[in-house]
Amino acid sequence: MAHAYLFNPGAGKLKLLRVLFIRLGISFTVVPREHFGRPLCEITGRGGCEAEFDELPDFTDEILLMDGFDSARFHALLDSMKSSRATIALKAVTTERNLFWTPRRLHAELSAEREAMRSKTPLDIHKTE
């Protein structure tokens, strides 16, 4: 079942996303800041896991974490967000690898990836060394 997890959504953005989620049949949770040190596997209800230790700071950027999305629902959500101008710069899907990360680690990884994409030309991205 598709479930979205929101980190630091603004009030206006949350209103807009709530409408989109309901229209698309997607359940969602706003993750409170005090859970930013817990592993994603715990936040997503998988339990029985331990986070990789991190000393990363909390963050204020918005993040959308998508869990259990099939391709059709994933694209429907992204298309709906784009057409309604409900932008969230940092988006991710759960994977076996990132489930053991904390939201702080997820933020650090997504931010680094975004910065790498911004700083390179399209040719550099595909260049192998």
pLDDT at 9: 96
Instruction: Give just the sign of the alpha carbon dihedral 78, 4, 47, 110.
Output: positive
Structural domain containing residue 117: 3-126
Which pLDDT tens digit goes with each residue over 56-105? 999 999 999 999 999 999 999 999 999 999 999 999 999 999 999 999 99
Number of domains in the chain: 1
Mean model confidence pLDDT for the chain: 90
Q: What are phi and psi of 29, to 5 degrees?
A: -135, 135
Which of the pair, 125 or 74, is modelled with greater confidence? 74
Q: What is the pLDDT of residue 124?
A: 52
Q: How far is residue 6's CA from residue 109's CA, in Å, rounded to a whole number?
A: 16
